[in-house]
Amino acid sequence: MVDALLTYTLRNGDRALVLAQRLLEVVTHAPEIEEDLAVSNLALDLIGQARALYTYAGEIEGPTPDGTIRDEDHYAYWRDQHEFVNPLLVELPNGDFAHVITRQFLHDAFALPYWQAMVTSTDATLSAIAGKAVKETAYHLRHSQSWVIRLGDGTDESHGRAQAAVDGLWRYTGELFETDEVESDLVAAGIAADPTAIRDRWREIVAATFAEATLATPDDGPMQSGGRTGRHSESFSFLLGELQVLARAHPGASW
């Protein structure tokens, strides 16, 4: 159960950190400076969530052989690719703005019901983290949803780009709701949220948004997965390289 709780906490911390890293690549490339700011705000909220989850992971893991408790920087900077357990959706390389904001929407439509459910987790720390994350995520969803509606129901150009983003990203959404032995025991214990219930809520949000955006919902074909068990896409090593290079080149540096 301790191992399961650690993996579960890291999956959510990694989901937040890796998505934040992708969002930060957008900064200075968004259509307007206002959107640069919005995207960096989303990223900073996600980094805050990752920090809280990583700190908790250190407590769960307990003292290492040398007697220290691992801190949030350990999990962000000193783990290798196969030790990251985020869903593939959040690590996909950025495409155009429609791709970035659609990926964000598909994530946020999961994250909001997820954190809402986690408020009643029997794990006091996860419940407390959820209480803060719910408010942040409600705003994230409002922002990404607003954009999906405007792009989908905008010009022919924006509609085409938004639909292409949806079609390309759809096969990565299934992994968000996968349940393996790591999670099933935690769900039974009331620690983890039940992915089935979250999937229903996700479908409602996506359907309502796509209807307003005049976007077609793809059929559920074969789904890609692997990120949550440490099997990542090729581009992920470049993301990690950029994320970790400073900490690894100057261990212990602070500023």
Q: What residues line the site for other proteins (CB under 8 A)?
A: 31-35, 37-38, 41, 139, 142-143, 146-147, 150
- 231 Cβ contact partners less than 8 Å away, ≥ 6 residues apart: 82
Q: How far apart are CA 80 and CA 244, in angstroms?
A: 10
State residue 92 phi and psi, 5-degree precision.
-60, 135
* Cβ proximity of 208 and 27 under 8 Å: no
**C-beta closer to other proteins: residue 131 or 241:** 131
CB within 8 Å of 161: residues ≥ 6 apart: 96, 97, 98, 99, 151
Select 73 or 96, whichever has its Cβ closest to other proteins: 96
In angstroms, give the least distance from the CB of 34 to other proteins.
4
* CB 9, min distance to other proteins, A: 28
Smaller CB distance to other proteins: residue 41 or 244? 41
What angle, rounded to 10 degrees, do the helices at 97-118 and 2-26 form?
150
Which residue type is seen at 163? Q
CB of 31 to other proteins, least distance (A): 5
Considering beta carbons, is residue 34 or 234 the nearer one to other proteins? 34
Query: Between residues 77 and 139, which has the closer beta carbon with respect to other proteins?
Result: 139
Please, what is the minimum distance in Å from the beta carbon of residue 38 to other proteins?
A: 5
CA dist., res. 11 & res. 110, Å (int):
14
CB of 97 to other proteins, least distance (A): 9
Cβ density class 90-105: b for 16+ within 10 Å, e for less: bbbeeeebbbbbbbbb
Q: Which is nearer to other proteins, 32 or 234 (CB)?
A: 32
Could you give the 3-state DSSP secondary structure of residue 226? coil
Q: How far is the CB of 165 from other proteins (least distance, A)?
A: 17
